[in-house]
Structure 1
Amino acid sequence: METIKQKIQSLRDELNQHNYNYYVLDNTTISDFEFDIKLKELQKLEEEHPEFFDANSPTQRVGGAITKNFETVTHKNRMYSLDNSYSKEDLQDWEKRIQKILGATETEYTCELKFDGASINLTYENGKFIKAVTRGDGFQGDDVSNNVKTIRSIPLNIKEDFVQEFEMRGEIILPLDGFNKMNEERVANGEEEYRNPRNTASGSLKLQDSAEVAKRPLDCLLYQVVTSERKYKTHFESLESARKVGFKVPKTIKLAKSIEEVFEFVNHWDAKRHDLPYETDGIVIKVNNLHQQEELGYTSKAPRWAIAYKFAAEQVSTVLNEITYQVGRTGAITPVANLRPVQLAGTTVKRASLHNADQIEKLDIRENDTVYVEKGGEIIPKIIGVDFTKRPLNSTPTLYATHCPECNTELVRTEGDAKHYCPNEFGCAPQITGRIQHFISRKAMDIEGLGGETVDLLRKEGLIENYADLYDLTVEQVIPLERMAEKSAQNMINGIEKSKEIPFEKVLFALGIRFVGETVAKKLAKHFKSIDNLMTADFETLISVDEIGDRIAQSIIDFSNNLGNIQLINRLKSYGLQLEVSQENLANQTNKLEGQIFVVSGVFHQMNRNELKKAIEDNGGKVSSSISKKTNFIVAGDNMGPSKLSKAESLGIQIISEQDFIDKIS
């Protein structure tokens, strides 16, 4: 006789199979009525026997869990952005770049549709769904597991043979039919329609009640398996296997043996994309071979082995009502076109950036003009031209602002710079607020419990005038603020206190020195080791650092010579912020490889590729992606490409093994 436990498991397996058949294979094998009867039977058995509870049971897909605060989770593997291309020439240039690094004449590609939804990272261990995290800023996102579990096309259990620990990357989308039905219901109920599927899908993931999410016809299309296990040799093979074990991998994916075959795929879907049941805004092309992907690696923002081809942007015309000016945290002035509202790529566009004075002059943009607007990369609205046939007779050329719109200080523009700047660094409100908001941001000090609106409120209440003032705040000062309770006030102060542990390279980025971005801050921190060494360095010393040019060097000197900045740094020191590289990190760094350039190529066994690169940099060396006359050593693992080997030999570059390298730094 079948036991209760066996009966429960049998029902779960059967319902999971029906879900897979319907939501992934688009093949109905049971009526809705029969499915509901079996689901209710399973719910009853689980209620009567809580000892057999399973968080991944089909009954958990109906929702009901309430999430008031979505926990921030750091991604185990960073979710990079993609570089964009807008022409076939861009794709050909990309192929030349990767072939230069690989030294290969033939490379196989995968072509995939780029879905317009909300990026998601799904974690699985031993065949079980563990969590779902939004992309966020690529480094960390929000845990939306309860909501994602309601999406029926996502498997919660995998029984078939696959990798043990892995992440599935994909896009949560709202198919057009489902989106239209949702809007029909909203109109019938007298509610405002949702604007577009992408924003509605993204917003659904942050609803507090997962039962509400379960009512929405969300779907999930998967595009990447991330794992340290070397089970598959190609990206295509890994996705085909993922499809076989239950993941919804679109069948539109195609292998291309050449860039010409990539163009064929692009041409086909540029014409056919409007026939798809969901929105797509382009094509993603990837190097198929996973070993070659490792060889190519990443830039600071994107994988070198992948690129997005964006379809021609939708274009509309509307009237430019007024040109206004915004002030950024560095004092940079950005002219903004305030437009007569117009629908563009599924959203209502009211404003567009005009970039700078040169752009306005080049296009001869004036107030009351009828202008052509498109979304750059289908995200940011921009004006691309003027309809001169509709220009009013009394039109006059635009005179660019001469004074700051916020503090009325006369604007400055240095030779060779496209932007105008407000020099009133410590007295211009948007600059003050902007610098503090940058200081607390995720990639900088990452202060939990403190957001941009609160910063603005703190400044307006006179509690802070700069980022150093944050460290003087008390719970008692913060509680009276609007929408601030005792617990949230305490969380803010705790977050500020915890930020004192943030490492030097991030503190340096947080300071907001002009032209010192995240990557430059890392290089400067590694070279100078402390804020004192950096601020006392002269121009020649600064430009001698790899990739630090005249503009960055002069900006650092200007920052270091400013009395206000010197006082701020001294205050941050007194509060205990990390303004030098920690002793622990210094202990792992040497100058053994100083001045030497390495190329890492092949498959390694004692260290993975990233550990090898870090070891080179920690010992003063530099890692290059391609072989040149400047290369000193190639660290060669298994399967090093023959063309790379040939080039290295022709240039007389020394080739060393993984063990040789380890001995070199020991």
Structure 2
Amino acid sequence: MQDEFELVTTLRKELEDANKQYYVLDQPRITDAEYDAFMRELLDLEAKHPNWVTPDSPTQRVGGEVAKEYTKVRHLEPLLSLDNAFAPGDLQEFDRRVRKVAPTVEYVVELKIDGLTVALTYEDGLIMRGATRGDGEVGEDITVNVKTMGSIPLRLDKTVPKLSVRGEGYMPKASFARLNQEREEEGQPTFANPRNAAAGSLRQLNSKITAERKLDYFAYQVLSAKELGLHNQTEVLTYLHRQGFVVNPEYKVFSDIEEVITYCEEMASERHRFPYDIDGLVIKVNEFDLQQELGFTAKSPRWAISYKFPAEQVETVIEDIVIRVGRTGVLTPTAVLKAVSVAGSTVSRATLHNLDNIREKDIRIGDHVLLHKAGDVIPEVIRVIPEKRMGEERLFEMPDLCPECQSPVTQDEGEVAYRCHSITCPARQREGIIHFVSRDAMAIDGLGPAVVQQLLDAGLIKDAADLYSLNFDDLTPVDRMGKKSAENLLKAIEDSKERGLAPLIFALGIRNTGAKSGKTLAQAFGSMDKLLSATVEELQEIPDVGPTMAESLVQFFALESTEQFLTKLREAGVNMTAGTSIKPQIFAGKSIVVTGSLERWERRQIEDLIEGYGGKAASSVSKKTAFVVAGEKAGSKLLKAQGLGVLVITEEEFEQLINEPL
């Protein structure tokens, strides 16, 4: 019993240390596989000894608690909104007002994350409450959902009697794009932008859903900061970081408003480089004594202002609306646009999601429209410009037959989506293969959509299982497939056989079953054979598997086509068990950058190797970079590494490292 209790304590420390290394220090120390193994072991022990569960246990981040309703909570201090500045003149006027009180002033400029304010309360070092902003005076208690966010500490690094923290909850662009893709494939309404997605996710009644959506948090304010010996905003940010919070590192300090304006203009042009959405910057007087002297208006502080970026909207023309058939059979209308540059790239297509969206916005073929990128990621038609209509615009109608296979198209009751239900539809097969080889599934590098289409057109494959029958002579005639690329692709296909059960379940593209569900099912059943024989009732006994997913699984595995597909995979030697091998963590805690043209690996393959051996595959070089792997034609990253004195190695030297562990 004592040994188990000590193990629980050790596991909790390992997991919380791993969270801090990942979220706060940006230096992952253990792999995802190791983290999951530790978490499973801790969950098992806490299930065995429920009286050992504590509020700050890492298991409390997993989610699964269902709230009946959200209770109202009154904030200790009102969460006030900021006045907005839209031009340099607005900032200069703000500066003039401040300098009437203090001729000398220092400003802190922070990125304005496009999310939602979340107020946190800690007592004796433990998190007690998380609340939404609400109307500024009263918010909603969302503590169960806040605890699922890995970037929010459950226990402070240094205990204080009471601490009230404010910050921004947000959804990273990658999470937003993945969530919308999953929802579109399932025929569900998509979110308009990351902010809406984050808000909807934080107010879920089921915290498991919040946990799956991978939200993050930047802390930026401490109430009663002076009582903690903090005298300005920069000291607050440093204090928050030391307490285990994630603080946005992009803040700057200026003493001249013209420098502030220059920085704002720079960030307006660089806003798309961040992995999260920003819609401006916040300018604050640094010193708290001066903030107090400047005071407040009825609704806003006089010592801070928000500089809002101009909205990036461009005008273009919808030249046509075409249909894309996804792997689940959903027909998605897509606008073919007159090519236009927006948010740093040229856009010629934009999804219109579904017929309801087209009707609601009254979109017609030939319309002039305003376009932007939702979350700086997804091209979206905002609205039509009706005054530019010439009378030749055409209404769009969903087809009665699938444009790919001519099978009937139907709309299921209660869904906005129209579907092709033919499992032999070539579009469904193509999209299914693209999904099968994707990174979270079988991770076969070198098999992009264009190559998949060429293999299908040449009759070399009919489904994803046929990939395992390809040989060198099959691949070399493929357009732009050189000898080295063919060898790399065949190696990637061979390597994918050992991915294991969890990625394989996800790769099958079963409706209502995502990557996380694949891990849950693999842990519960251990082999494909056991999963195949599970009933709806047995499946629902598994945590996080509801009736909808259970029905989808049983129906999918009952199909003759599924049986044939799995038989081909077995004959090819694809591993269908949950066993995985753990690589030695020779790169633990190390940040490694790959640059230049590689000969031995595709870029994603070598980055997966780095992460598999415990390292972090970073995108930029800094003093903290352990080493750089440089291929041919390495450019600015190589020069920066040489300038900083960072070790640079070749692919051959990297291979020696992983074959001869340090």
TM-score by length of 2: 0.48
Higher-Rg structure is: 1
